[in-house]
Amino acid sequence: MAEADGESTMRPDSTLDATGLLCPLPVLKARRALKAVPAGGILEVLATDPGATKDFEHFCQTTGCVLIEASEQPGGILRFRLKKPG
């Protein structure tokens, strides 16, 4: 999973709890939540759908966001940290 230097320890500007949601809802809700995040800000997304890893990789490739972290937390929670372009 991806992790960039130093940015994974930065406090997110917003956190989206998408646990229990199945594809494509975590990505769709993240797209909406990013609107409130300032340019260069970080959105943290918590999800449980195993397909979310590939979904967020593709989402970042198509939107210009940087996937600064994709990790699995205790309890099977997937954590994604996206840096908004700008």
What the block records as the tokens of 66 is: 């940087």
Query: Active site includes 60?
Result: no
What the block records as the tokens of 69 is: 């972290």
Which amino acid is residue 39, in one-letter code? A
Phi, psi of 46 (to 5 degrees): -110, 130
Per annotation, catalytic residue among 2, 10, 21, 23: 23
Catalytic positions, written as ranges: 23
